[in-house]
Amino acid sequence: MGMSSPDFWVALLQIIGVNIVLSGDNAVVIALAARGLPAHQQKKAIAWGSGAAVVMRIILTIVAVELLRLPYLKLIGAVLLCWIAVQLLTPEDEDEGGGNAATTLGTAIKTILLADLVMSLDNVIGVAAAAKGSVPLLVIGLAISIPLVIFASQILLKLMERFPFIVTFGAGLLGWVSGEMAITDPAVKTWIDANAAWLHTAAPMAGVLLVLGIGRVIAARATPAESPETTVSLPPSALVGHAARVLVPVDGSEGALAAVRRAIELHQTHPQPVQFSVDLLNVQHPVSGDVSTFVAGKTLHEYHEERSEEALAPARALLQQAGVTCRSHARVGDAGTLIPLVAKELGSEQIVMGSRGLGAIAGALLGSVTAETLRSSAVEVVVVKD
Protein backbone atom coordinates (compact mmCIF):
# COMPACT_ATOMS: atom_id res chain seq x y z
CA MET A 1 0.00 0.00 0.00
CA GLY A 2 2.02 2.94 -1.35
CA MET A 3 1.54 6.65 -0.68
CA SER A 4 -0.03 7.07 -4.13
CA SER A 5 -2.85 4.69 -3.19
CA PRO A 6 -6.15 6.16 -1.94
CA ASP A 7 -6.28 3.30 0.59
CA PHE A 8 -3.08 4.63 2.17
CA TRP A 9 -4.57 8.07 2.82
CA VAL A 10 -7.88 6.64 4.05
CA ALA A 11 -6.01 4.41 6.51
CA LEU A 12 -3.79 7.33 7.59
CA LEU A 13 -6.84 9.47 8.35
CA GLN A 14 -8.35 6.57 10.29
CA ILE A 15 -5.19 6.24 12.43
CA ILE A 16 -5.14 9.97 13.18
CA GLY A 17 -8.87 10.04 13.94
CA VAL A 18 -8.78 6.96 16.20
CA ASN A 19 -5.78 8.24 18.14
CA ILE A 20 -7.21 11.73 18.66
CA VAL A 21 -10.58 10.47 19.90
CA LEU A 22 -9.06 7.86 22.23
CA SER A 23 -6.31 10.09 23.66
CA GLY A 24 -8.44 12.59 25.55
CA ASP A 25 -7.73 11.06 28.97
CA ASN A 26 -4.02 10.74 28.17
CA ALA A 27 -3.95 14.44 27.30
CA VAL A 28 -5.57 15.31 30.64
CA VAL A 29 -2.94 13.30 32.55
CA ILE A 30 -0.13 14.99 30.62
CA ALA A 31 -1.50 18.44 31.41
CA LEU A 32 -2.20 17.70 35.07
CA ALA A 33 1.04 15.81 35.72
CA ALA A 34 2.99 18.95 34.83
CA ARG A 35 0.62 21.26 36.64
CA GLY A 36 2.43 21.28 40.00
CA LEU A 37 5.83 22.14 38.47
CA PRO A 38 7.38 25.60 38.15
CA ALA A 39 6.44 27.27 34.86
CA HIS A 40 9.92 26.83 33.34
CA GLN A 41 9.77 23.05 33.93
CA GLN A 42 6.23 22.43 32.69
CA LYS A 43 7.15 22.52 29.00
CA LYS A 44 10.15 20.28 29.63
CA ALA A 45 8.01 17.71 31.44
CA ILE A 46 5.44 17.68 28.64
CA ALA A 47 8.09 17.50 25.90
CA TRP A 48 10.26 14.79 27.49
CA GLY A 49 7.40 12.75 28.91
CA SER A 50 5.36 12.90 25.73
CA GLY A 51 8.38 12.17 23.52
CA ALA A 52 9.16 9.03 25.47
CA ALA A 53 5.47 8.09 25.40
CA VAL A 54 5.43 8.42 21.59
CA VAL A 55 8.33 5.99 21.23
CA MET A 56 6.76 3.57 23.69
CA ARG A 57 3.39 3.78 21.93
CA ILE A 58 4.94 3.07 18.51
CA ILE A 59 6.80 0.00 19.86
CA LEU A 60 3.68 -1.36 21.55
CA THR A 61 1.58 -0.85 18.45
CA ILE A 62 4.14 -2.51 16.16
CA VAL A 63 4.03 -5.53 18.50
CA ALA A 64 0.22 -5.47 18.28
CA VAL A 65 0.35 -5.31 14.46
CA GLU A 66 2.55 -8.42 14.38
CA LEU A 67 0.34 -10.28 16.86
CA LEU A 68 -2.74 -9.54 14.77
CA ARG A 69 -1.24 -11.63 11.97
CA LEU A 70 -2.01 -14.75 14.04
CA PRO A 71 -5.34 -16.56 13.45
CA TYR A 72 -8.35 -15.57 15.58
CA LEU A 73 -6.60 -12.64 17.31
CA LYS A 74 -8.21 -10.16 14.92
CA LEU A 75 -11.64 -11.59 15.74
CA ILE A 76 -10.94 -11.14 19.44
CA GLY A 77 -9.53 -7.67 18.78
CA ALA A 78 -12.63 -6.70 16.79
CA VAL A 79 -14.88 -7.59 19.72
CA LEU A 80 -12.63 -5.65 22.12
CA LEU A 81 -12.57 -2.65 19.78
CA CYS A 82 -16.37 -2.63 19.64
CA TRP A 83 -16.45 -2.61 23.45
CA ILE A 84 -13.97 0.29 23.54
CA ALA A 85 -16.13 2.21 21.05
CA VAL A 86 -19.28 1.67 23.12
CA GLN A 87 -17.44 3.01 26.18
CA LEU A 88 -16.98 6.31 24.35
CA LEU A 89 -20.76 6.72 24.26
CA THR A 90 -21.31 5.66 27.86
CA PRO A 91 -21.35 8.25 30.69
CA GLU A 92 -18.31 7.89 32.95
CA ASP A 93 -18.18 7.99 36.74
CA GLU A 94 -15.35 9.94 38.27
CA ASP A 95 -13.53 8.28 41.15
CA GLU A 96 -11.66 10.11 43.86
CA GLY A 97 -8.13 10.84 42.75
CA GLY A 98 -5.59 8.56 44.32
CA GLY A 99 -2.44 9.71 42.55
CA ASN A 100 0.20 11.98 43.97
CA ALA A 101 0.77 15.46 42.65
CA ALA A 102 4.02 15.69 40.68
CA THR A 103 6.43 18.08 42.35
CA THR A 104 9.63 17.36 40.42
CA LEU A 105 10.46 17.12 36.73
CA GLY A 106 11.45 13.44 37.04
CA THR A 107 8.23 12.55 38.87
CA ALA A 108 6.11 14.29 36.23
CA ILE A 109 7.86 12.44 33.38
CA LYS A 110 7.46 9.10 35.18
CA THR A 111 3.75 9.83 35.74
CA ILE A 112 3.23 10.66 32.06
CA LEU A 113 5.02 7.48 30.93
CA LEU A 114 3.27 5.17 33.40
CA ALA A 115 -0.15 6.65 32.65
CA ASP A 116 0.37 6.36 28.91
CA LEU A 117 1.48 2.74 29.29
CA VAL A 118 -1.54 1.78 31.40
CA MET A 119 -4.14 3.84 29.53
CA SER A 120 -3.08 3.14 25.93
CA LEU A 121 -4.55 -0.33 25.38
CA ASP A 122 -7.49 1.11 23.46
CA ASN A 123 -5.23 3.34 21.35
CA VAL A 124 -2.85 0.47 20.55
CA ILE A 125 -5.61 -1.89 19.43
CA GLY A 126 -7.49 0.76 17.46
CA VAL A 127 -4.43 2.12 15.67
CA ALA A 128 -3.03 -1.36 14.97
CA ALA A 129 -6.33 -2.33 13.34
CA ALA A 130 -6.44 0.86 11.23
CA ALA A 131 -2.83 0.34 10.07
CA LYS A 132 -3.84 -2.90 8.32
CA GLY A 133 -0.39 -4.42 8.86
CA SER A 134 1.59 -1.50 7.45
CA VAL A 135 4.34 -0.45 9.88
CA PRO A 136 5.39 2.66 7.87
CA LEU A 137 1.77 3.82 7.80
CA LEU A 138 1.52 3.18 11.53
CA VAL A 139 4.63 5.24 12.33
CA ILE A 140 3.54 8.15 10.11
CA GLY A 141 0.03 8.18 11.59
CA LEU A 142 1.24 8.16 15.19
CA ALA A 143 3.97 10.70 14.47
CA ILE A 144 1.30 13.12 13.21
CA SER A 145 -1.51 12.48 15.68
CA ILE A 146 0.29 12.14 19.03
CA PRO A 147 1.97 15.58 18.97
CA LEU A 148 -1.38 17.03 17.87
CA VAL A 149 -3.05 15.50 20.93
CA ILE A 150 -0.27 16.59 23.28
CA PHE A 151 0.09 20.21 22.26
CA ALA A 152 -3.56 20.90 21.48
CA SER A 153 -5.02 18.74 24.24
CA GLN A 154 -7.07 21.45 25.92
CA ILE A 155 -8.48 22.67 22.58
CA LEU A 156 -9.35 19.11 21.53
CA LEU A 157 -11.04 18.33 24.84
CA LYS A 158 -13.12 21.51 24.70
CA LEU A 159 -14.13 20.81 21.10
CA MET A 160 -15.27 17.30 22.02
CA GLU A 161 -17.31 18.65 24.94
CA ARG A 162 -18.80 21.48 22.87
CA PHE A 163 -19.54 19.28 19.83
CA PRO A 164 -20.45 15.77 21.03
CA PHE A 165 -20.85 14.56 17.44
CA ILE A 166 -17.02 14.37 17.30
CA VAL A 167 -17.12 11.61 19.92
CA THR A 168 -20.02 9.94 18.12
CA PHE A 169 -18.07 10.06 14.87
CA GLY A 170 -15.04 8.59 16.63
CA ALA A 171 -17.10 5.75 18.09
CA GLY A 172 -18.56 5.05 14.65
CA LEU A 173 -15.06 5.06 13.14
CA LEU A 174 -13.94 2.46 15.68
CA GLY A 175 -17.00 0.37 14.81
CA TRP A 176 -16.06 0.59 11.11
CA VAL A 177 -12.45 -0.42 11.83
CA SER A 178 -13.59 -3.34 14.02
CA GLY A 179 -15.78 -4.63 11.18
CA GLU A 180 -12.87 -4.45 8.75
CA MET A 181 -10.63 -6.10 11.32
CA ALA A 182 -12.94 -9.08 11.86
CA ILE A 183 -13.23 -10.06 8.20
CA THR A 184 -9.47 -9.85 7.58
CA ASP A 185 -8.57 -12.37 10.29
CA PRO A 186 -6.39 -15.10 8.73
CA ALA A 187 -8.81 -17.74 10.00
CA VAL A 188 -11.73 -16.44 7.88
CA LYS A 189 -10.29 -14.12 5.21
CA THR A 190 -9.75 -16.76 2.50
CA TRP A 191 -13.29 -18.15 2.87
CA ILE A 192 -14.85 -14.68 2.89
CA ASP A 193 -12.92 -13.59 -0.21
CA ALA A 194 -14.11 -16.69 -2.06
CA ASN A 195 -17.70 -17.01 -0.84
CA ALA A 196 -18.88 -13.78 0.81
CA ALA A 197 -17.03 -10.83 -0.69
CA TRP A 198 -20.06 -8.63 0.09
CA LEU A 199 -18.98 -8.73 3.74
CA HIS A 200 -16.11 -6.34 2.91
CA THR A 201 -18.78 -3.64 2.61
CA ALA A 202 -21.40 -4.97 5.02
CA ALA A 203 -19.16 -5.81 8.00
CA PRO A 204 -17.76 -2.28 8.55
CA MET A 205 -21.27 -0.80 8.26
CA ALA A 206 -22.59 -3.43 10.67
CA GLY A 207 -19.80 -2.47 13.09
CA VAL A 208 -20.88 1.19 13.00
CA LEU A 209 -24.56 0.32 13.56
CA LEU A 210 -23.73 -2.14 16.35
CA VAL A 211 -21.58 0.34 18.27
CA LEU A 212 -23.97 3.27 17.93
CA GLY A 213 -27.00 1.10 18.70
CA ILE A 214 -25.56 -0.45 21.86
CA GLY A 215 -24.17 2.93 22.95
CA ARG A 216 -27.56 4.54 22.49
CA VAL A 217 -29.30 1.83 24.54
CA ILE A 218 -26.80 2.08 27.42
CA ALA A 219 -26.96 5.88 27.42
CA ALA A 220 -30.77 5.76 27.50
CA ARG A 221 -30.74 3.40 30.50
CA ALA A 222 -28.37 5.77 32.31
CA THR A 223 -30.79 8.67 31.86
CA PRO A 224 -33.23 9.22 34.77
CA ALA A 225 -36.84 8.18 34.22
CA GLU A 226 -39.09 10.87 32.84
CA SER A 227 -40.76 12.99 35.50
CA PRO A 228 -44.52 12.56 35.87
CA GLU A 229 -44.88 16.34 36.09
CA THR A 230 -45.28 18.42 32.96
CA THR A 231 -42.12 19.78 31.35
CA VAL A 232 -42.51 22.59 28.81
CA SER A 233 -40.21 23.78 26.03
CA LEU A 234 -41.12 27.33 25.12
CA PRO A 235 -40.39 29.40 21.98
CA PRO A 236 -37.61 32.01 22.16
CA SER A 237 -40.08 34.91 22.11
CA ALA A 238 -41.96 33.76 25.20
CA LEU A 239 -41.34 35.40 28.58
CA VAL A 240 -43.19 32.99 30.76
CA GLY A 241 -44.72 33.43 34.18
CA HIS A 242 -43.25 35.33 37.06
CA ALA A 243 -40.72 32.86 38.43
CA ALA A 244 -38.69 34.47 41.20
CA ARG A 245 -35.77 32.01 41.06
CA VAL A 246 -34.29 30.92 37.75
CA LEU A 247 -31.53 28.38 37.06
CA VAL A 248 -29.33 29.08 34.02
CA PRO A 249 -26.87 26.33 33.01
CA VAL A 250 -23.81 27.83 31.29
CA ASP A 251 -20.85 26.32 29.48
CA GLY A 252 -19.13 29.38 28.02
CA SER A 253 -20.89 29.10 24.67
CA GLU A 254 -22.83 31.83 22.89
CA GLY A 255 -25.99 29.77 23.39
CA ALA A 256 -25.49 29.91 27.15
CA LEU A 257 -25.00 33.69 27.06
CA ALA A 258 -28.23 33.99 25.06
CA ALA A 259 -29.96 32.17 27.93
CA VAL A 260 -28.42 34.62 30.40
CA ARG A 261 -29.75 37.53 28.38
CA ARG A 262 -33.19 35.90 28.45
CA ALA A 263 -32.94 35.69 32.24
CA ILE A 264 -32.17 39.41 32.31
CA GLU A 265 -35.32 40.07 30.26
CA LEU A 266 -37.31 37.98 32.74
CA HIS A 267 -35.88 40.10 35.56
CA GLN A 268 -36.88 43.29 33.81
CA THR A 269 -40.48 42.12 33.35
CA HIS A 270 -40.82 40.60 36.81
CA PRO A 271 -43.47 42.36 38.96
CA GLN A 272 -41.11 42.48 41.94
CA PRO A 273 -37.56 42.72 40.60
CA VAL A 274 -36.02 42.86 44.08
CA GLN A 275 -37.10 39.28 44.74
CA PHE A 276 -35.81 37.95 41.42
CA SER A 277 -32.57 35.94 41.48
CA VAL A 278 -30.57 33.77 39.11
CA ASP A 279 -28.50 30.68 39.87
CA LEU A 280 -25.74 30.01 37.35
CA LEU A 281 -24.69 26.38 36.99
CA ASN A 282 -21.70 24.91 35.20
CA VAL A 283 -21.35 21.14 34.93
CA GLN A 284 -17.94 19.78 34.02
CA HIS A 285 -17.70 16.44 32.26
CA PRO A 286 -15.84 13.99 34.53
CA VAL A 287 -12.51 12.54 33.54
CA SER A 288 -12.25 8.76 33.63
CA GLY A 289 -11.31 6.78 36.69
CA ASP A 290 -8.02 5.96 34.94
CA VAL A 291 -6.99 9.60 35.09
CA SER A 292 -7.73 9.79 38.81
CA THR A 293 -5.36 6.86 39.36
CA PHE A 294 -2.42 9.02 38.31
CA VAL A 295 -3.56 12.49 39.37
CA ALA A 296 -4.25 13.62 42.92
CA GLY A 297 -7.86 14.35 43.82
CA LYS A 298 -6.95 17.90 44.86
CA THR A 299 -5.38 18.55 41.46
CA LEU A 300 -8.48 17.27 39.65
CA HIS A 301 -10.69 19.41 41.87
CA GLU A 302 -8.65 22.52 41.07
CA TYR A 303 -8.71 21.63 37.36
CA HIS A 304 -12.51 21.42 37.33
CA GLU A 305 -12.81 24.58 39.42
CA GLU A 306 -10.72 26.58 36.95
CA ARG A 307 -12.67 25.35 33.95
CA SER A 308 -15.99 26.07 35.68
CA GLU A 309 -14.85 29.59 36.50
CA GLU A 310 -13.92 30.14 32.83
CA ALA A 311 -17.49 29.22 31.84
CA LEU A 312 -19.22 31.11 34.67
CA ALA A 313 -17.30 34.42 34.52
CA PRO A 314 -18.82 35.86 31.28
CA ALA A 315 -22.37 34.97 32.40
CA ARG A 316 -21.81 36.43 35.87
CA ALA A 317 -20.48 39.67 34.34
CA LEU A 318 -23.60 40.06 32.17
CA LEU A 319 -25.91 39.62 35.15
CA GLN A 320 -23.97 41.96 37.40
CA GLN A 321 -23.94 44.62 34.71
CA ALA A 322 -27.74 44.35 34.50
CA GLY A 323 -28.09 44.52 38.28
CA VAL A 324 -29.42 40.97 38.63
CA THR A 325 -28.62 39.06 41.81
CA CYS A 326 -26.87 35.79 41.02
CA ARG A 327 -25.13 32.87 42.68
CA SER A 328 -22.68 30.50 40.99
CA HIS A 329 -22.62 26.72 41.30
CA ALA A 330 -20.24 24.13 39.87
CA ARG A 331 -20.73 20.38 39.58
CA VAL A 332 -18.94 17.46 37.93
CA GLY A 333 -20.94 14.75 36.16
CA ASP A 334 -23.50 14.29 33.40
CA ALA A 335 -25.03 17.70 32.65
CA GLY A 336 -28.41 16.40 31.48
CA THR A 337 -28.81 14.45 34.71
CA LEU A 338 -27.46 17.07 37.11
CA ILE A 339 -29.28 20.18 35.84
CA PRO A 340 -32.78 18.99 36.92
CA LEU A 341 -31.38 17.67 40.22
CA VAL A 342 -29.68 20.99 41.03
CA ALA A 343 -32.87 22.87 40.09
CA LYS A 344 -34.77 20.78 42.62
CA GLU A 345 -32.03 21.18 45.24
CA LEU A 346 -32.03 25.00 44.88
CA GLY A 347 -35.80 25.35 44.68
CA SER A 348 -35.63 26.85 41.18
CA GLU A 349 -38.97 27.66 39.61
CA GLN A 350 -37.71 27.71 36.05
CA ILE A 351 -34.71 26.58 34.00
CA VAL A 352 -33.57 28.84 31.18
CA MET A 353 -30.98 27.26 28.91
CA GLY A 354 -29.51 27.58 25.46
CA SER A 355 -29.73 24.98 22.75
CA ARG A 356 -26.40 23.45 21.84
CA GLY A 357 -27.56 23.38 18.21
CA LEU A 358 -26.56 19.79 17.48
CA GLY A 359 -27.38 18.48 14.04
CA ALA A 360 -30.22 16.02 13.60
CA ILE A 361 -27.93 13.00 13.30
CA ALA A 362 -25.85 13.80 16.39
CA GLY A 363 -28.97 14.63 18.36
CA ALA A 364 -30.58 11.33 17.44
CA LEU A 365 -27.50 9.32 18.36
CA LEU A 366 -26.39 10.95 21.60
CA GLY A 367 -29.25 13.11 22.74
CA SER A 368 -28.40 16.68 23.76
CA VAL A 369 -28.10 18.11 27.25
CA THR A 370 -31.18 20.19 26.49
CA ALA A 371 -33.21 17.14 25.46
CA GLU A 372 -32.18 15.23 28.60
CA THR A 373 -33.14 18.20 30.77
CA LEU A 374 -36.53 18.46 29.07
CA ARG A 375 -37.18 14.76 29.67
CA SER A 376 -36.38 14.75 33.36
CA SER A 377 -37.02 18.25 34.72
CA ALA A 378 -39.91 18.76 37.14
CA VAL A 379 -40.02 22.53 36.49
CA GLU A 380 -40.57 24.66 33.41
CA VAL A 381 -37.72 24.68 30.90
CA VAL A 382 -37.29 27.66 28.56
CA VAL A 383 -35.05 26.81 25.62
CA VAL A 384 -33.41 29.82 23.97
CA LYS A 385 -32.02 29.40 20.48
CA ASP A 386 -28.96 31.52 19.80
What is the C-alpha separation between 235 and 382, in angstroms, rounded? Answer: 7
DSSP state of 273: G
Strand partners, 278: 246, 326
Q: Which residues contact 72 (CB under 8 A, 6 or more apart)?
A: 185, 187
Q: Which among 346, 342, 332, 327 is positioned nearest to 373, based on CA atoms?
A: 342
3-state secondary structure of 270: coil
* Among candidate residues 134, 173, 182, the one with its CA nearest the CA of residue 8: 134
SS3 180: helix
Q: Express each pLDDT in 316-349 by its tens digit.
A: 999 999 888 899 999 988 888 899 999 999 989 8
Are 381 and 235 a contacting pair, CB within 8 Å? no
DSSP letter for each residue of 253-268: SHHHHHHHHHHHHHHH
Q: For the residues of 124-175, what is the DSSP string, one character each?
A: HHHHHHHHTT-HHHHHHHHHHHHHHHHHTHHHHHHHHHH-THHHHHHHHHHH
Overall residue count recorded for the chain in this entry: 386
Which domains are assigned to the chain? 6-222 (no CATH), 233-384 (3.40.50.620)
* Tens of pLDDT, residue by residue, the chain (386 residues): 567 777 888 888 888 777 777 766 666 667 677 766 776 777 777 777 777 777 777 788 888 878 878 888 888 888 887 887 787 676 555 444 555 545 577 777 777 777 666 666 667 777 777 877 787 887 787 777 667 666 655 565 566 666 667 777 777 887 888 888 888 888 898 999 999 999 988 998 998 999 888 877 876 665 444 433 333 343 433 444 456 789 999 988 888 899 999 989 888 876 665 578 899 999 987 766 556 666 666 777 888 888 899 889 999 999 999 888 899 999 988 888 899 999 999 989 899 988 754 333 334 333 467 878 888 888 888 888 76
Rg over CA atoms, the chain: 24
Q: List all residues 6 or more positions away from 213 whose beta carbon is below 8 Å from its beta carbon.
A: none
Q: Specify burial of residue 242 (Cβ count, 10 A radius: 0-12, 13-18, 19+).
A: middle
Kindly report the number of other CB atoms within 10 A of residue 195's CB atom: 9
Integer Cα distance of 84 and 174 in angstroms? 8
**Inter-residue contact 177 to 207 (CB < 8 Å):** yes
